[in-house]
Amino acid sequence: MSIRADTWVRPYKKLLLFLFRRENMAQPQNDTLTEGLHRTTVRVRFGDTDPYGIVYFVSYFRYCHRAIEEYLRACGLKPEETFKNVREGFGLPIVEAWCRFRRPAQYGELLRIETRVQEIRSKALIFRFEFYPETGRELVAEGTANLVAIGPDWRVRELPARIKETLTGKK
Active site residues: 50
Please tell me the distance from the alpha carbon of residue 157 to that of residue 138, in angstroms, as a whole number.
Answer: 39
DSSP bridge partners of 170: none
Q: Letter for the amino acid at 26?
A: A
Please tell me the distance from the alpha carbon of residue 161 to that of residue 75, in angstroms, as a whole number.
Answer: 15
DSSP secondary structure code for residue 55 in this structure: B
DSSP secondary structure code for residue 19 in this structure: H
DSSP bridge partners of 110: 43
Q: How many CB atoms lie within 10 A of CB 128?
A: 16
Please tell me the distance from the alpha carbon of residue 90 to that of residue 156, in angstroms, as a whole number.
Answer: 9
